[in-house]
Structure 1
């Protein structure tokens, strides 16, 4: 099988479909704007044949002709299409090629749950199937690699009391998530996160702050920046985890977190007792699980 995938800003749906189908070869159709995304995907996904085609994203006729010609020249004649990414014009063009060749096509819906739709073209029309995707199609390292050219895992912060709280939070989360790493640093210093973690096919990032640092705007701004399409993308769920409860004085921060879709988890037992209580431990685990399972 050879998969022709349309590449948009967010590479995760494409990565998931390629990992799910396990083709012998694939072609990534990108624009000049998404060339970097396509190059990173091409690097990490294994296959015998890998191609990259760059098209003008809004020239329907040109896109169709380039895809059609490329597919005709492939040695593998079992070709299928991933229509999830790219521009709508790219999707129209690829759809028309798939229909004319009576090939199959896929589309991944990933807003709240990962559902893969398969469309098969025949003489009588289109046959639609819904497929459930497995929950472990990529690793945390894969996820970071398709968004970032270079990054380092540096471990917990070095200074107290932040280091101890960060370690306590990580230990509390380990049995809830599939993978977790402390200290994700983008080369060049543009990205600096305390925690990154994966549960199934969803990823979260967190800033973990104690004392006054938990009442500053900086942590929220860092999370907002991290989930920008330029860095870790809109599929990444941001969390701010603090060792105390916000009150009326932090109302402006609460409103900002809500506006930026950042989940704030308060663990006041740590400041009071120096450890995370059973109640706060359950709060942390349940909230992380709820958000990363599409809640």
Structure 2
């Protein structure tokens, strides 16, 4: 009877953990080898804490920009720790020199490798093979099913985070509650009042499939200020929730010509502005505004 070899996936850890988290959850290797640098140790530790419940995790530090040293160091580590394993390399993350070093090792071994493409509407995994003659072939490409939760995403990017129970008092909280209640039946997951990085507050975190969005939900005077746009830009920076996070500014009013500069700023930051004027007018969301809210959120997610 043929012995089934254990599998190990080599992950090149960059600033964005999602392209490493998703393939591991999808392919379920026995071991994940997290290859990191001085700059990405925190991200590697976040991934280790998330992944070690489902597979054994090994961490290995390499030089970020020295190809020969990174290659030789990784080759030695793999031989010592997973020498008899079936290897697959994920070449999505890391620096370009790290990718070249890992690709050379994959090519030497004839080991398959994968690449993750994050599209607007889905995440696609490309699986490549290397023939005995050294020719690269695309074996398959597939859309990844849902493999993460909001908690997974937040812990992968920021480690620990805080969340408040319920909504703020007053009309601002009432608007947040109305938006939450409208979206909750139509998205896979939604979480209110999250705090990351100790001081950055996010009104809503929304998940549809593997795609994550964050929203600032403002009405009245707060809806006419620049601060919510700055808050979204900060929360989705590389060092916090990352460049793959969709951003929404949900307003309980309609902007007029005096807010054109805010509209331009939001557009420049790739923030989707959703105006729901019925709430400031009547204290509740009209059927038309509820429909618009659902449609605009699902359009981006």
Match of 1:267 in 2: 276
Q: Tell me how large the CA RMSD over aligned residues is.
A: 1.3
Unmatched runs of 5 consecutive residues or more in structure 1: none
Instruction: Kindly indicate whether residue 151 of structure 2 is the aligned counterpart of residue 104 of structure 1.
Output: no
CA distance in 1, matches of 2:117, 2:197: 32
Tell me which of 230, 238, 248 is aligned to 1:239.
248
Task: Call closer, same or farther: CA 1:48–1:169 in 2, change over 3 Å.
Answer: closer
Instruction: Tell me, in whole angstroms, the C-alpha distance in 1 between the residues paired with 2:197 and 2:76.
Output: 39
Q: Which residue number corresponds to residue 70 of structure 2?
A: 63
Matched, 1:28 2:34: yes
CA distance in 2, matches of 1:176, 1:60: 47
Displacement, 1:153? Answer: 1.3
Q: Which contiguous aligned blocks of 4+ residues in structure 1 show a shift greater than 6 angstroms?
A: none
Contact 1:194–1:207 (8 Å) recurs in 2: yes
What do the CA deviations read for 1:217-257 (whole angstroms, capped 9, x no partner)? 11111001001011100011111101111000101110110
Does residue 290 (structure 1) correspond to residue 296 (structure 2)? The answer is no
Q: Distance in 1 between matches of 2:150 and 2:84?
A: 31
* 1:4-43 residue CA offsets vs partner (Å, 9 max, x unmatched): 1001100001000110110111100111101100000001
Partner of 1:5: 11
Runs of 5+ consecutive residues of structure 2 not aligned to the other structure: 1-6
SS at match of 1:175: coil
Change (3 A) 1:175 1:135: farther
Choose which of 51, 54, 60 in structure 1 pairs with 2:58.
Answer: 51
String of CA shifts for 1:104-153, please: whole Å, max 9, x gaps: 10000113331111111112412212332333111100000011132111
Residues 48 and 178 from structure 1, CA distance in 2 versus in 1: closer, same or farther, beyond 3 angstroms? closer
Aligned counterpart, 2:213 = 204
Count, aligned residues: 291
Q: Deviations over 1:143-166 (max 9, x none)?
A: 000111321110344231011110
